[in-house]
Chains A and B, each alone.
Chain A
Amino acid sequence: MKTVDSIEVVVTAIEEVTPLIKRFTLRQIAGGGLPPFSGGCHVTVVMRGGERTFRNPYSLLSSPRNLDSYEIAVRRDDQGRGGSLFMHESVTVGTRLEISHPINLFPLSKLARKQILIAGGVGITPILAMIDDLSAGPISWELHYSMRGHEHAFFGNWLTGQHGDRVRLYDTSAGQRIDFATLVARQPLGTHLYVCGPGPMIADALASARAAGWPESHLHVEQFAPPPAGEAFEVHLATSGKTVQVSAEQSLLEALEAAGIEAPYLCRSGACGRCELNVVELDGELLHNDHWLTAEDRLSGTKIMPCVSRSKCRRLVLDW
């Protein structure tokens, strides 16, 4: 099944930029320019690997001014669910893939007076395209980028070469850490903070900013975390009368998709709210892993974000 608005692309180059990260260049098979995007956008890549289909979101890291091709970077995760391994092992130059249209859930504020970008590891990818946007404009910006060891410094070195001391690199293998408390302490009004990286780094950055009185409207986060595994359960769809089995390794959304149901989604990481479904009945408890539902929503037990959340039960009935 192909979704209506997907784009068929072919891999035209693969480059190993660090021991763990590969960069893929994608061109449209139909030829012509790809849809325009802005820094911070991601696409969902559909990977049909054997019996399982993965749909993983990856940020576009190439310049938004170049629409001949898109570039994404994938970090190999040997413990992961298989999407990144598929990209690293099964995809070669010439492989055809399906991607969604670019969506921006991590846009730069246009009214900001100063932009502070913070990245950890492969979290640099959306920020590369954002910097491309920023370097063409008048707003002042700086990047704080933390990575582990020299062999992981490919993007860091490239950025330093391009932008000099707007870029600060932190090598965690040498014990260097971003001092968030100092960083957020004396920033001019209208400063916005953007963080993309591992969970604990995001948590540290946000905690420091909030402690310094930063309001939520100036804090921007992007995190693509795979949906947590759990126990298998059964979902029944009240409207269509279908019944679907969700395996321990699958997310609820993936199980629906595998059954041929086109459930809505955008971020696939519990942040955007697009995939929200209503719970009609349940003989157990909901395990919420999203950042979207409010505390009241959770208490009510009537809503679930199927991209990351699941249920510990035998049977879940959804209003769908």
Chain B
Amino acid sequence: MLVTNVKSRPQYQQLRFDASGRFHLFIGQGEGGLAFQRVRPELPDSAEISVIYTGESLTGCDLSEEVSGCGWRQLTLLPTQVDALQLLDEVLAKSVMGIRLYVAGSEGFIGVAEQVAARYNLQSDELQREHQGSSARRVYCVHCQTSRDDVTTNIVVCRGCGRHLLVRDHYSRRLAAFMGVMADAEAPGCLPELCEVYE
């Protein structure tokens, strides 16, 4: 089976305000906005908080209005995930010790945000992750090193090299992706039945 008990898949939690931090940075995408709406009432008024959100998502779930409606002192809305992650990088470069980072959204988004955070040596007690929305997988082609993060099927065509990839249950934290390996390497053209498995 492909989807049972993925041991290497990261464990997510529900975002909770961490009072031991001095600065709190929330970054989210798509359905991640639901996590922000839920956590907003538990945030103390005195806390220094900033929020980065993008409505861009595979599922078309743009919660920009709802997130804005929560009343943040510092909110940046951006059109794409790439913009949001770019801003995350810039903010972390200027930040000082005492920050807590809260990430909410799809697995692919969380994975890339964690990679950015790792460049600044943010460790597990400075970083929380909440998975919301699609469980589409970010898949890394082991043949041509191209990734795509909208994979909901067991077999996918690589955008880099055109191979049919079988999506393995092995998740690499370093690459923030599941491994995709050529599905018909043994017998070219002979592919298992395609099915939707990770909506």
Give me the interface of A with B, judged by CB distance under 8 Å: 109, 111-113, 184-191, 209-210, 212-218
Quick one: closest B residue to A113, CB to CB? B121
A188-B97, A189-B92 as given contacts; A217 in contact with B123, CB under 8 Å: yes
- Closest chain-B Cβ to A1's Cβ sits at a distance in Å of 42
A191: chain B residues within 8 A (beta carbon)? 97
Docked CA distance A55–B31 (Å): 59
- Closest chain-B Cβ to A71's Cβ sits at a distance in Å of 31
A189-B96, A191-B97 as given contacts; A216 in contact with B125, CB under 8 Å: yes
Give me the interface of B with A, judged by CB distance under 8 Å: 20-23, 92, 95-100, 120-126
Are B97 and A214 neighbours in the complex by a CB distance under 8 Å?
yes
- Closest chain-A Cβ to B23's Cβ sits at a distance in Å of 7
A212: chain B residues within 8 A (beta carbon)? 22, 97-98
Are B99 and A189 neighbours in the complex by a CB distance under 8 Å?
yes
A184-B97, A212-B98 as given contacts; A190 in contact with B121, CB under 8 Å: yes
Are B123 and A185 neighbours in the complex by a CB distance under 8 Å?
no
Interface of A is mostly: loop
- Closest chain-B Cβ to A138's Cβ sits at a distance in Å of 14
Docked CA distance A67–B125 (Å): 37
- Which of A109, A111, A216, A218 makes the CB contact (< 8 A) with B97? A218
A188-B97, A213-B97, A218-B97 as given contacts; A111 in contact with B121, CB under 8 Å: yes
- Which of A109, A113, A186, A215 makes the CB contact (< 8 A) with B20? A215
B96: chain A residues within 8 A (beta carbon)? 185-189
Docked CA distance A210–B22 (Å): 10
- Which of B99, B122, B124 makes the CB contact (< 8 A) with A213? B99
A113: chain B residues within 8 A (beta carbon)? 120-121
A184: chain B residues within 8 A (beta carbon)? 97
Docked CA distance A186–B97 (Å): 7
Quick one: closest B residue to A112, CB to CB? B121
Quick one: closest B residue to A192, CB to CB? B121
Are A189 and B95 neighbours in the complex by a CB distance under 8 Å?
yes
- Closest chain-B Cβ to A95's Cβ sits at a distance in Å of 44
Docked CA distance A293–B125 (Å): 20
A184-B97, A187-B97 as given contacts; A215 in contact with B125, CB under 8 Å: yes
Chain A to chain B contacts (Cβ below 8 Å), 24 pairs: A109-B121, A111-B121, A113-B121, A184-B97, A187-B96, A187-B97, A188-B95, A189-B92, A189-B96, A189-B120, A209-B97, A210-B20, A212-B97, A213-B21, A213-B23, A213-B97, A213-B99, A213-B100, A214-B98, A215-B20, A215-B21, A217-B123, A217-B125, A217-B126
B92: chain A residues within 8 A (beta carbon)? 189
B120: chain A residues within 8 A (beta carbon)? 113, 189-190
A216: chain B residues within 8 A (beta carbon)? 125
B21: chain A residues within 8 A (beta carbon)? 213, 215
Quick one: closest A residue to B118, CB to CB? A111
Tell me which of A185, A187, A190, A213 has the highest count of chain B C-beta atoms within 10 A of its own C-beta.
Answer: A213
A189: chain B residues within 8 A (beta carbon)? 92, 95-97, 99, 120-122
Are A218 and B95 neighbours in the complex by a CB distance under 8 Å?
no
A184-B97, A185-B96, A191-B97 as given contacts; A213 in contact with B121, CB under 8 Å: no
- Closest chain-A Cβ to B66's Cβ sits at a distance in Å of 29
Docked CA distance A217–B122 (Å): 9
Quick one: closest B residue to A186, CB to CB? B96
- Closest chain-B Cβ to A111's Cβ sits at a distance in Å of 5
A186: chain B residues within 8 A (beta carbon)? 96
- Closest chain-B Cβ to A25's Cβ sits at a distance in Å of 37
- Closest chain-A Cβ to B26's Cβ sits at a distance in Å of 16
- Closest chain-B Cβ to A214's Cβ sits at a distance in Å of 5
A189-B95, A191-B97 as given contacts; A215 in contact with B22, CB under 8 Å: no
A187-B97, A189-B95, A189-B99 as given contacts; A215 in contact with B23, CB under 8 Å: no
Docked CA distance A217–B100 (Å): 13
- Closest chain-A Cβ to B95's Cβ sits at a distance in Å of 5
Docked CA distance A215–B122 (Å): 10
Are A213 and B20 neighbours in the complex by a CB distance under 8 Å?
yes
- Closest chain-A Cβ to B100's Cβ sits at a distance in Å of 8
B124: chain A residues within 8 A (beta carbon)? 217
Given A184-B97, A189-B96, output 19 extra A-B contacts at Cβ < 8 Å: A109-B121, A111-B121, A113-B120, A188-B96, A188-B97, A189-B92, A189-B95, A189-B120, A189-B121, A190-B120, A210-B20, A212-B97, A212-B98, A213-B20, A213-B100, A214-B98, A215-B20, A217-B124, A218-B97
Quick one: closest B residue to A110, CB to CB? B121
- Closest chain-A Cβ to B132's Cβ sits at a distance in Å of 24
- Closest chain-A Cβ to B30's Cβ sits at a distance in Å of 26
Docked CA distance A91–B125 (Å): 46
